[in-house]
Each structure stands twice: as structure tokens, then as C-alpha cells.
Structure 1
Amino acid sequence: MTSAHDDSAAPHRRTLTRRQVTAGAIGAAAMVGLVSAAGVEGAAAAPALSFVYPCDERRVSDDWAAHRARGSAGGTDYIAIYGSEVRAMANGTVTTADWTTSGSGGRYIRIDHGSMGPYRKVQTDSLHLSELYVQAGQTVTVGQVIARSGASGFGSDYGYGPHLHISGWFDGSNLDIEPYVSAMTVPDATSLVYALYQDILVRKPDEVGLASWRNALVKQGAPTMSVANGILYSDEYYLQRIDAAYREILNRDPDPIGRADWHRRMQTGTTSVDEIRMTFTRSLEYYLAAGGTDTAFIGVLYRTMLRRQATDSEIVNWVKIAAAQGTGTVVSMIWNSYESGTIRLNTVYNQFLKRDVDPSGVKSWVPLITGQGDQAARTAIVTSAEYLIRARERFPQN
């Protein structure tokens, strides 16, 4: 048995995970917001013009100026492989969804985004498409898949090499849209940061944190995963999880030395925010509090980890394993079981999506959580489209 903060209680040492490295890539400025508790009274206003990228590929083969220089209508050509998803760059209404290939633009979609910034009418065109998923008169939301890229034009499905051409029209004038394109709109970024702070840190974002993370999403084009992991792997969250483990597993407040030790381990990647809970259940302190016998200990493990009573046969089996391999092995085997993984997964789902995982998703999600830990599931969920939609609903931006 081990004490709650004995070095021998830690699992094998690990290098920093990819997620931790990615989280740090945003920069120290964004991390400052995680140590301040100042509240935010309101959200920043939306920018004059704001569009999201129309496809996953952000490399440009031909820009607006190059198009105009050769006498063409200005636009941006993205290096999108044939069949890539094409998304609405902002909310709007489809005014044209042309399936023909006769024109130079081939199959194309025009969306009217209404009034934006100083302009009364803003429109975007998506050209050379292979498939269309919307029709004229249909309302679309930012980020919605509206088509697949192609190479259509001049009466052929392959009038060009595969790419996606985007044109912007502002009160009838063809202007460069690229300066207003980012990975995420300011309203969505604001809603997402508010949701992440509330669900992970259980507080409102402070002004520095909100501005830094929103800037990372909108101006720097940082992936949502980087921002989410910056918060999930922050010192503030580490300390919250350490305190919770002491109180929920050991039924006491953390002692200063133990708290600092576990914090150091999390910072260096030698343990995770969830492994501390498993390690505590392997400690002598927990064993004695559970009754001081293998039978009593296993009974408590079932009630806390699996949320049910152990059957007589299960207790007999685990007592034999404990005698042969130690109670630490019993803890590890129960913690990493499919049953435990399902329960932990549902806990994460309810924390962030306020629902249980659907039955079809259990088979694919449980191996992730038992193999990579609860943090991997947290990251995947908070970077999902469903989470962003809930963030919009919970923290709407005008």
C-alpha cells in the first residue's frame, strides 16, 4: 500500500502528451486568463464582417488580386481535393443552386448573407462544385455543409483542375473576402469560450482569458482542440481535480505537500487528472478507510467505481486476485474495465452535453476512454459540432 502522496504511488513516468504540447502552442498570453478570477459582464460585439473558412484546406492557389489582374472576377481559389466538404461561410439564404456545368463557374451556389457591417447586402459564391446539398430559398447556418468541391465548368465536370473558388459581393461590388475569413466567427468563439470556462473551470471567463482564447480561434486560426486543451491542461484545472480527488476519494482536504506533489506530476506529464483518483484508491489510507480487509475494500470499489453492489462470486474472484497480485492490481483492472469505462464516459457526456452516450457510440468511445483516459474523451466532446451548437444556445451573442 502507498500513502496519498508517496512518489511510489505514481504510475510509470511518461513524456508530455501530444495534447499537452498542442495546448502550450497557443502561447503564454492565452494562459494568463486561467489564473484570474475577474468576471465578465458582457460579450464583445460582432465584427463588421466575419466569415469562416469554406473548406478544411486553407492553402490558396490563386488570390483575389491575381484573378483581377488577368481580367476575371476577383475571388479566392482554395486547393481543395475533389469531393471535399464545402461549408456556408456565414448565416444566410441560398439564392442560387445551379446544377448545370455550362458556365465558366460550373455548378455553383450563391448565398445572400443580408446586411453585414457597412454593407446592406453581402453575398458569397462557391464555384466548380461536384455535388450540391441545398436549394434556392433554403436557409443555411454558418459552417453547414452545402456542397462538395469539384472541377466543373465549361460544360464539363472536369473543366478545370479540382479546386474551390469563392467570390464575395458587397452591395453589388466584387471585393476581396479573404481579410474577413477566419477559422471561427467572433460570436461562435465567444460562446465557445464561455461554455468551456463554465463546464471545465466552473466560472465565467475573465477579460484576459476571453480575449486571448477568442483571438486564438478567430485571428490565429487555432484549432478548437488547442484552445480546449489549453484549459483542460491548465494549472487551474489541475488544482481543481486534485482537490476534488482528495475530497471525493479520501474524504478530506489535501495537505499542502501532497497537493504540490500531484500538481508537479501533472505539469510534467507523469500522471493525469484522472489517474490521481485511481492512485488514491490504491493507497493504504483508502484501504483502511474502506474497512481494512480485501472483502470490504472490493465492496467499496464496486460502489464507487461501478456504482453497484458486487456479487458474492465477484468478491470471491477479486479476493483471490488481491491475494496473488495485490489490491493495486484489482483497482487497475476494475478501473480499466469496459463497465467502468462506460460509466466514466457517461459522466463526461453528461458534464458537457447533458445526456448519456448513445448506445451506438459506446463501442467506439469506451476503448478511447480506457486506452487514453477521460481527458481524451473530454477533448473529443468539447471539440464536437454538438458542443458548439449547445454553446451557441447557452451563451447567445447578439
Structure 2
Amino acid sequence: MNTIAFPQKSAWESIIVRPVSDSGTLMSKVKSVLNEVQQKGDLAIQQYTQQFDGVHLPDFKVSELEIQEALNSLDNGLKKAIETAAANIRNFHSPQLKAESMIETMPGIQCWRKSVGIEKVGLYIPGGSAPLFSTILMLGIPASIAGCREVILCSPPDKSGKLHPAILFTAQLVGIRSIFKIGGVQAIGAMAYGTETVPAVYKIFGPGNQYVTAAKQLVQMDGVAIDMPAGPSEVCVMTDDTAIPAFVAADLLSQAEHGPDSQVLLVSTSEAIINQVNLELEKQLAELPRKEVAAKALSNSRVVLMNTMEEAIELVNAYAAEHLIIACNNAEAIAEKIVNAGSVFIGNYSPESVGDYASGTNHTLPTNAYARMYSGVSVDSFVKKITFQKLSREGLVSIANTVEKMAEAEGLTAHAKAVSIRTK
């Protein structure tokens, strides 16, 4: 990790910048794949699955037999862990769907709002180097609570043409039965445009690499909604001299092992803690099965030594991390000053990995500084808010003059007439 000590504020922008790729070339490649899927449907899916995943799949919908085999083969201990996580996630998300009160804005004028589940949603679950079955819980449970009528799931197959048993177990646990062995850009295209086998959806959810992210952004231009423009995962850890170096190093590595394009940022007011964390990183990195991946991510990451905690907070808010861990004295008070973050983990005993899996909060979060204006996924992400109003004759009379004068001032005579024809 690259260390920067006491940077001037003019240098902050270069510190918080994320790794970037040639977006023009990337978008061109992705657009080409999406066009093929839109035009050729299942045939294009088969061709790209062969090209990118190295397997020929004449039928890429998961069968009931495959689901049953997965249920039988998965370790009971892992099943129990997934079920526990699912219960916590459901407990946290269920209260988010609340009936809203009717408001009488004036006598005889009643207004209210109702949450209605988006009818058709698609979930993308990465499955390359790490099958992220936990993401099914994070997306499938809120979709179920919201009342989405049709939920489909796409995930890339392995070299044998199968999905990891944990993906299939988790999908059936949250009630998803339409599962397709399709990955990458072609999966986003299939869900966006529909094929002979895959139904089109209204909104697409789920994380992915830069190609998947680009595909989601492109299909959004064609009228398909997406959860957020999320990219490679990231974590920021704030420390002072009360942090525990081994814990901090473990948190940084838990994020770095996601992929070589992941980014970690350590912001500290203690040089001694930074030095101890660096020693722990070397020690723990050597023990990781994915150490090559984590090492590459660390090479793109930074350590920043700040003069004061106030400056550290300001820098962290500017960075707008997907995950923010506050390993400091008075961590709760510091957390109150955070205005830009996807999810915040308070204190030495709140590792990010708990939120990734089982505490109950959602791990599908804004990256690449989008936490400045986006929230993480919640039940709200799967619903539309429809407003209603009902006026009595007396209510319309009481507001008629207001509406007529405003409509006439805007030159919209028919608007005014729609009121006056009722009141006269």
C-alpha cells in the first residue's frame, strides 16, 4: 500500500480517485455483446457462454433435478449458516415496508401513498472466482418482502456447466425458481431484452465486474432500470491509536481478496498504528489462498496519515466509501459526522464481513463515490411509490380558485377548465 503523510487539501482529490479503465473501449465491447443478445436471443447466449465461460449449454435454465441435487449435496453446517443469515436479513428488512397514513391536506382533500412491488425483477449473482450466494439473500429477500411477482436469477456456470450448490440452495430458500446459467454482459442483456428462454424484466439488480457494470449502464439507456452503477468493491478504515492492528489488517485484506480491481483505503491519525498494520498485512497476506488477488488490490490502495481526526473525517466523507469501518475512540460520535458512506461499521468488533453476510443490513452498496448520492439496496429498491388523491365536491370547491389562478398564469386554460367545469 502506498503511504501518504499529512497531505495538503489540494492533493485530496488524487488520493480518493478510484482506478479507472478505458471506458470508451469497454463500452464499445459491451455494446457489441448486448446488440447480439438483443438480435439473436438464446443463440447469442449460447455462443458467448461458450466463448467466455468455456462451456456449451444448449439449455441454460436450471432444472428441478439440479436444484434437488444441490440441496442434497450441500453441507448441513453451511445450510444452517445461510438460514441464520436469511433470518437476520429478513428481520432487518421486513419493517422497511410500512403502510403510509392518509393525509387530509384540506377539508375534503385526501392524499396518500402506497408501495407496490415492481412486477418483474432480475438478479445478477457473480460466480466466477467466488460464487456470491450471499448476494441472493441480499436481493431475493427484499424482493420477496416487496411483493415482486416475477424474480429471475442469472449466474455464470462453472466449466462443467453447473452452478455452485450454495447458489441453488439459497435461491430456493428465498423462493426463486427461475434460475439461469448465464454470466457477464450476456446475462444483463438477456434480462434487459428477453430471449426465447429468459423473460425480460423491468429492473436489474446485482454487483459485477466492470463489464457487468457497463452493461447495466447501457441497458438503462434503453429504458431498463438498475439498482445503482456499482463497480468494484471497496473499504475505508479509519483508525486512531486505539485501533487493533491485526483487526485492521484483516479488514483490509477481506476487501482486497474480492478482486484485483478492489480498493482499500486506510485513514489514520496514528503513525504507529499504520506501521503495525503494515506488518500485520505482510503476515496475514502470506496465509491467504487468494493472496495474489489481494496483493494486486493492495498495490492500487493507499494509507493516509492525517494530522487530526476532524481532517480524517472530512477526507473520509470526500471519499464516500462503499464500506466504512471506524476503529477509533468515540467511534459512535465520529459515525454521527459521516454523511457519505454506503454502510458504516462502528468499533473494533464490527468487521465489514459481518455486514457482508449475516448481521441483517444489505451488502449491495454504492461504490466509486456514488455513496454521495445513492443509498444501498433496500426494500424500497424493489417498490414503486404510487400517490393517490380523492376529493369530495366540497374539497374541490375549496381549492378550485387556487388551481384555476395557477393554471391561467401558466397559460394552461384547459387545466383551469377541468376544475371550473365541475364547480360551476
Provide the TM-score with structure 2 as the length reference: 0.23
* Greater Rg over alpha carbons, structure: 1
Provide the TM-score with structure 1 as the length reference: 0.24
Higher RCO (C-alpha under 8 Å, 6+ residues apart): 2
